[in-house]
Amino acid sequence: MLTKRIIPCLDVTLDEEGGTVVKGIEFVDLRKAGDPVELAKRYNEQGADELVFLDITASHEGRGTMVKVIERTADEVFIPLTVGGGINSIEDIRQILRAGADKVSINTAAIKNPDLIKEASEIFGAQCIVTAIDCKRNTNIKDHPDKTILELEDGTPAWYEVVIYGGRQPTGIDAVQWAKKVEELGSGEILLTSMDKDGTYDGFDIPITRKLSDELEIPIIASGGVGNPEHMYEGFTKGKADAALAASIFHFGEYTVNDTKEYLRKKNIPVRL
C-alpha cells in the first residue's frame, strides 16, 4: 500500500526582508509565520515527506517567483520541493527547476493557457507538473445546470467554482470538470485547495476532495482547513486523498509533522516514519 504524504506548505509573500511565510483565513487577513528557509529546515528535520512553497502574491502582483529564496530553501532541504506562484511559461518552469525545485505548481497560468500543462508535461515529465486548483463553493445551481453538483455536509447542493489570482477572481469554471481536463493534459498531480476551508481549522472540504479522488487516476493533495491530525485522518479516509497539506498547525507550533504521523500510524494510515 502506498504511504500517505504529509506536506507542510509555505505561503510566501515578498517583503523588505526578501520573503516571509504568512497564513490567513480564506486567503486574506495574513499574519507572518516566519522565514521560509528556517521553516523549511525545521520541516525537513521533522520528517515531512515533501514541501510546497507558494509565492501567493506573484500572479496578483504581476511578477515572477522569488528565485533567490527558492535557491536558499532548496539548499537546506533534502525532500521533494514543489514551487508555485507567478509561473507563466516554459522558461519560468525551467528557471524554477534550475533553482532547485523538484516540481512546479501551475494555477492561474493553466486556466489562461491550458496548453501550458501539456507542453510542460511533455518537456519536463508529468511527475514535475502539479496543477493547483483553488475552488469555492457556489450554491447557485439553478443557473448552472451544466456544472457537477455535489452534496455538502448539511445536504445543500452546490458546485465548486475555480478561482484564480489568489482567490480574488472567480472563473465560472467547474472544478471537477477542470480537474479531469488537466489530468488529460498531462498533469502529474493536483493540489486542491478549498477557499471556504482555508485557515478555518474546520477540516478539509471532504465533498470535493472525495469527488476528485474517486474520479481521477492522478494523486490528489488535499489542502485548506486542517486544525489537527484528526482532520488529516478524515482527509485520507473520507476524502480518499493521497497527500495532506497543512500550514498553520505546523507554523505556529501546535503540532509537529512527527506528532501527526504518529497519530496517523496509530489509526492504521500508512505513513513514512
Catalytic residues: 11, 134
Exposure class string for 189-208: b at 16+ Cβ within 10 A, else e: bbbbbbbbbbbbeebbbbbb
6 exposure class (CB count in 10 Å sphere: 0-12, 13-18, 19+): buried
Residue 218 contacts by C-beta under 8 Å, 6 or more apart in sequence?
A: 183, 187, 188, 189, 190
Cα 250 to the center of its chain, rounded Å:
15
Q: Supply the angle between the helices 67-76 and 90-98 in degrees, to the nearest 10.
A: 40
Helix (H, G, I), strand (E, B) or coil at 171: strand
Give me the helices (H) in the chain, please: 36-46, 58-61, 67-76, 90-98, 108-112, 115-124, 175-185, 206-215, 229-237, 248-251, 257-266
Cα 197 to the center of its chain, rounded Å:
13
